[in-house]
A and B are shown apart, each in its own frame.
Chain A
Amino acid sequence: KNEVEQSPQNLTAQEGEFITINCSYSVGISALHWLQQHPGGGIVSLFMLSSGKKKHGRLIATINIQEKHSSLHITASHPRDSAVYICAVRRNTGNQFYFGTGTSLTVIP
């Protein structure tokens, strides 16, 4: 069983749509990260969360520690948002990182 589960695995949206990607985890964590990976491999860290909610531009990330669940929302999606979005957690014992398998997002103009 994976420590981090993401859904959906693949997502296709029309430009302008509101998008939600979900992440559930099974271990105690000190923080959760949302990463964005574009074709070619480059990874950008979008958010680091330990509680509540964060917002950067059109991106919003929330976390519910009690339910061990996080969501990444993209408002007014744009083709440049097309990428793989990866959820990662740092365990609070041992400090190990665990990664979800990623959500591949395609936004169609």
Chain B
Amino acid sequence: SQTIHQWPATLVQPVGSPLSLECTVEGTSNPNLYWYRQAAGRGLQLLFYSVGIGQISSEVPQNLSASRPQDRQFILSSKKLLLSDSGFYLCAWSVSWAGGEKLFFGSGTQLSVL
């Protein structure tokens, strides 16, 4: 069966420090991968998605970047964090089925920038 791992679960970082969040998927190959952010416990916003190694699409301009160095690895990074980068970050992968895409989310990383 497929599983998605995301770490760390909680992170407190000072403003201006770098960021690296990692996500890996097991049990599937060539998945579509996503980074979503949830601010203030409300709705989710799609930040990045990737359909293959080295292929990254950004949905919103921001202080963050994403990379996919391996088929089942997705990394979210920042060179210098801002206060507004605080939030709950969720990695997800999707599988196509019956004409749609079903999304499976990781456990999330709660990032607090102070």
B is bound to A: no
Taking beta carbons and an 8 Å cutoff, which residues of B are in contact with A? none
Taking beta carbons and an 8 Å cutoff, which residues of A are in contact with B? none
